[in-house]
Structure 1
Amino acid sequence: MADVPDPGAGTQPPGAEGFTKILGWAAWIAFGVCVLGVIVAGATMAIQSRRGEGGEHMSRLGWVLAGCIVIGSASALVGALV
């Protein structure tokens, strides 16, 4: 098997600064949405617990946390696929 060429980890092509800035903004927005999602899921669980429906919202919290994990490991996932 031939070795896979490494295009130079850590070196960016000219003009990539704008793209990395947009990626940084997208990451901050995504993490903000994740935090908001956890807060909303927790608040919904607290409100619905008085009615006995709090357990149904655990799946919502699970999906929010799964989304947080995917967003947090996005660069590693893409790196593994490439």
Structure 2
Amino acid sequence: MRSMLGRTTYLADVFQPTKGAPPELDSSVSKVLGFIAWVGTAAGVVGILAVGTMMAVSVKRGEGSEHMGKLAMVLGGCVLVATAGPIIRFLFA
């Protein structure tokens, strides 16, 4: 049986994919991911400023509000945006 399989000829070559993306796709994806990372970073900065502003207004009015939870959510989003690229690079490299 083994010798029979060794003599088999194929009508078409079997496609063997190479590791990594094509260069033109790789550069385009890198540009898009870089843009998304900058937008995420800017959104994080705006979020921190918004939470800080809400905290200042609440203190000025004499109200007690739960802003630390909102700040933690914004900072968690910032950490996610900052680590998304290295995590994906680690998983797919």
Q: TM-score range by the shorter chain?
A: 0.7 to 0.9
Compute the TM-score of the two structures, normalised by the length of structure 2: 0.66
Deviations 1:49-82 (A, max 9, x none): 132324x111101110011011111123334555
Any conservation in 2 of the 1:38–1:61 contact (CA below 8 Å)? yes
> Equivalents in 1 of 2:90, 2:33: separation in Å?
18
Which position in structure 1 is the counterpart of 2:5?
A: none
Higher relative contact order (CA 8 A, sep 6+): 2
Please tell me whether residue 28 in structure 1 is matched to residue 38 in structure 2: yes
**Unaligned regions of 5+ residues in structure 1, if any?**
1-6
Q: Which runs of 5+ in 2 are unaligned?
A: 1-18
CA contact (8 A) 1:41 1:60 kept: yes
Count of aligned residue pairs for this structure pair: 72
| Amino acid paired to 1:13 | P
Which portions of structure 1, spanning 4 or more consecutive aligned residues, are displaced by more than 3 angstroms?
79-82
Q: Percent identity?
A: 32
